[in-house]
Amino acid sequence: MKLRKRGSALLLALMLSLSLSVSAMAEETVASLEETAQSAAQGALTYGGADSVQYALWQDGKVVLTGSCGSYSRTENRALTDDILYGIGSVSKIYTTVAVMQLVEAGRVSLDAPVTRYLKDFKMADERYRQITVRMLLNHSSGLMGSHFENAMLFGDADPVAADSLLEQLSTQRLKADPGAYSVYCNDGFTLAELVVEAVTGMEFMDYVRTRILKPAGLENTFAPGDTFDTGRLAKTYRGADTRALPQDCLNLVGTGGIYATASDLAAFGGALIGTKLLRQSSLNAMAAPEYDRGIWPDTDAPDALRYGLGWDAVEWLPFSQSGIQALVKGGDTLRYHAGLVVIPEYHMAAAVLSSGGASTYNEMTAAQMLAAALKARGVVLDESLPLLPEAAPAAMPAELTENAGYYGSTAAQYRVDVTDDGTLTMRVLTMPSVPAQAFTYCDDGTFRDTTGQAALRFVKEANGQLYLYQQAVGLLPGLGMMPTANYAAVKLPENDITPEVQAAWDRYLSTSFLPMGEKYSSQTYLALADSTAQETAELVPGYVGASRIVDSTSALYELQIPGANGRDGQDIHVYEQSGITWMDVNGALYMSAEGAPVLYTGPDSYSTVQENGYARWYRVGGNAGKSMTVRVPEDAGFWVYDTDGQVTASSVLWGDTRAELPQDGFVVFAGDPGARFHLSFQ
């Protein structure tokens, strides 16, 4: 349960392990649409380790194909049907974008007006917040730190506290970049957009969505956690190999990622965006425009998985862009559900792929395969050749490039890059020490190439004076197609010399386990703690904690400027001591050092009361290992028990436990409403 930076590894590290052979694609015969869809869905299921995948294709006004693969349940003999619901995660952002654009059309919102015009209580500890416009919320260029997810992801609990508290949380935060400087994925921007919709209309967000989006589009199988619907229709979710299904996955930042839908409803929503049923054509065109190009962005035409529009992750997508066809793409991931939506306006097509487990990337690729097959069935010829890098030969390297050696970082990963006189660039992924160092050779086009010649790195000095490590590669997943990357992987980290005393302080913090204090009893964070213990221990950049620069013995600030996804979710970290206990504040979320947890009292008349400020009560098992604890759980409360490896051994939230064996060197946490009292007995 140590503080670790969660995030995906550098995409390039994955790309380099993929086969770049294209001969199979050239020889492949065109399969039927149904066969292609099922084969691609099976690929998404297999690659992502999903439990189930559901898909739908919409053409010319109706859903023409549906299907699924996998299993509904690990223990029940129940078929997967088209009416099963899945969380669509961040695809919810397109509904939010449509809502905002409708208000723009009505003259009630201006895209380029400051957000403060509509949210009078929006304030930050950074005067630049006044420059944030509504457009910047939708194209990810607001400069906000990223994601306020404390108490947002809950089990079986539709509490909207995370959205309700966002303005208060932001009031103490600063920006990580000038508003409009560049687009970098930002969840909080869409929660603010949701609040703008509510402020302007005087309606709850989902009431507006139902009235102005779902009803006009005829969508009857789209819901939010707080809606009344049969939750038994939700696809089952699991953790690891456990056969016990998890409770309902509730992401209560609805406009950011909380909507549930069937694949048919989601595909039909994508179809509704093609005509003028929901928006004028001018608004649809505005959503599909290259918003990413307004700020800092790699100056290249190479294909990439991210090229933001308004709401959309990508307004260009392989293989369609190679044939002059625009495809609009949005992916979504909660901790349990994953979704992909791809829309081709020119040919009146949309495909949606949803899964329990897996990854949105595979779902998007499955949707693309379905649409490619549908276009072929219409006689549309697609260029599906792999966009290989131009040939380049090893060459003498300019001597000054050796000066670019050093540490590079993003919020996802940090690297050590070495450049030698003979033209060899060696890169180590510090956040994944088990990954072997990768070597690249300088070539006559100014790139450093791997041994295949089809993965390249290049140093780019941007207009902001920052030195970026640009990466380019295209991988091929059999049955799912191409996976391109062409982006700034990281930025060079300035040297940050700190005193031995400051380093010793942070060494102590980083060797300490920290426990979340402000999470609700139903928070998925309590289960995520168990997942974090399995992550590799990263090698740190000197003077940094992850991507945050150490300022002094109690503060580390996020200062990196990276467009795309590699600069998302920056963290300002502040540490302080109180009553002999070390506390850590991460963007307003509070954590207590594990040493501050007292040993659980197991005598007669034992109880634990949630603190009046709502903070959870954590305890160490200490010498009580082997005892059996029985808990009388009050209303709106719950408890979790962890073993020495940080794995959950009992939980009233997950499994309805009222009894638990206390593990050696374990922890117990009680959480709930302020003042909630747990009565405990032991044997």
Structure tokens at 543: 């003077």
- The C-alpha atoms of residue 157 and residue 522 are separated, in whole angstroms, by 7
How much is the average pLDDT of 167-175? 96
Helix axes 360-377, 33-48, angle to 10 degrees: 170
In CATH terms, the superfamily for domain 23-377 is DD-peptidase/beta-lactamase superfamily (3.40.710.10)
- Residue position matching structure tokens 């197991």: 602
DSSP 8-state secondary structure symbol assigned to residue 579: T
For the segment 33-56, the average pLDDT, to the nearest whole number, is: 96
Q: With cut-offs at 50, 70 and 90, classify the pLDDT of residue 441.
A: very high
**Three-class DSSP category at 265:** helix
Question: What is the reported pLDDT for 276?
Answer: 86
Mean of pLDDT values over 301-328: 95
Percent of the chain at pLDDT exceeding 70: 95
Note whether 431 and 536 are within 8 A (CB): yes
The pLDDT score that the predictor gives to residue 6 is 31
Q: State if pTM tops 0.85.
A: yes
- SS3 of 40, please? helix
Report the 10 Å Cβ neighbour count for 535. 13
How is 608-624 classified by DSSP, letter by letter? EE--TT---EEEE-GGG
Block residue for tokens 């009893």: 521
3-state secondary structure of 574: strand
Per-residue pLDDT band at 28 (split at 50, 70, 90): very low
What is the pLDDT, as a whole number, of residue 31?
64
- Residue 379: which region, alpha, beta or left (left: phi > 0; alpha: psi -120 to 50)? left
Report residue 352 as tokens. 């949606």
How far is it, in rounded angstroms, from Cα 438 to Cα 434? 12
Three-class secondary structure of residue 428 per DSSP:
strand
> For residue 282, what are the contacts with CB-CB under 8 A and spacing of at least 6?
none
Report the mean per-residue pLDDT for the chain. Answer: 94
**C-alpha to C-alpha distance for 477 and 20, rounded to whole angstroms:** 9
* Measured distance CA(321)–CA(371) in Å, rounded: 13
Residues 6+ apart with CB under 8 A from 156: 247, 248, 250, 522, 653
C-alpha span between 136 and 193 (Å, rounded): 10
Tokens of 198: 């509510």
pLDDT tens, 253-297?
999 999 999 999 999 999 999 988 999 999 999 999 999 999 999
- Mean pLDDT value of segment 507-530: 96
Query: How large is the average pLDDT for residues 307-330?
Result: 97
Q: Which residues pair with 415 in a beta bridge?
A: 408, 429
573-603 confidence digits (pLDDT tens): 999 999 999 999 999 999 999 999 999 999 9
d(CA 516, CA 427): 34
Report which DSSP code applies to 291. Answer: G
Domain positions in the chain are 23-377, 500-596, 606-682
Kindly tell me if the per-residue pLDDT of 477 is higher than 70: yes
Provide the CATH number for the domain formed by 606-682 in this structure: 2.60.120.380
Q: Is the dihedral of CA 545, 551, 555, 558 positive or negative?
A: negative
Q: Kindly report, residue by residue over 632-650, the tens digit of the pLDDT.
A: 999 999 999 999 999 999 9
pLDDT tier, 485 (very low <50, low <70, confident <90, very high otherwise): very high
Please state, in angstroms and rounded to a whole number, the distance separating the CA atoms of residues 132 and 142. 6
Helix (H, G, I), strand (E, B) or coil at 585: strand
- pLDDT exceeds cutoff 90 at 124: yes
Residue 43 near residue 366 (C-beta atoms within 8 A)? yes
Tens of pLDDT, residues 331-385: 999 999 999 999 999 999 999 999 999 999 999 999 999 999 999 999 999 999 9
Distance of CA 170 to the CA centre of its chain: 20
Is 31:42 a contact under the CB 8 Å cutoff? no
